[in-house]
């Protein structure tokens, strides 16, 4: 909702449910290859190197990655023209 002085605060949302994530199995080469496609509900315990997960541990990297891309956009001078222009570069 709005702040005490009626500004709209920036709410950030990101997907955090049923996201495919890399897992780790001990002494297994190629564990995240495409030929091992898990089904929703599979876990690393099911001997699959990829698994679906949910929660803030999945949503946080999405937000962090998006923020890094937005920052890079400004640092490379894409704003306001939409094309890289060194004189427009800034660090937000």
**Whole-number pLDDT of residue 29:** 67
Of 9, 31, 11, the residue nearest 21 (C-alpha) = 31
**Whole-number pLDDT of residue 78:** 96
State pTM to two decimals: 0.63
**Whole-number pLDDT of residue 79:** 95
* Residue 50, SS3 per DSSP: strand
Q: pLDDT, tens digit, for every residue of 37-85?
A: 667 766 656 556 677 788 888 899 999 999 999 999 999 999 999 999 9
**Whole-number pLDDT of residue 3:** 78
Average pLDDT on 20-27 reads 70
Of 20, 59, 26, 62, the residue nearest 43 (C-alpha) = 20
């Amino acid at each position: 909702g709005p702040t005490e002085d009626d500004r709209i605060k920036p709410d950030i949302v990101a997907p955090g449910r049923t996201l495919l994530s890399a897992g780790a199995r001990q002494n297994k080469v190629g564990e995240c290859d495409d030929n091992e496609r898990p089904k929703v509900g599979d876990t690393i315990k099911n001997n699959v190197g990829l698994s679906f997960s949910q929660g803030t541990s999945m949503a946080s990297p999405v937000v962090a990655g998006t923020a890094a891309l937005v920052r890079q956009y400004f640092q490379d001078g894409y704003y306001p023209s939409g094309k890289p222009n060194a004189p427009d570069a800034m660090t937000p």
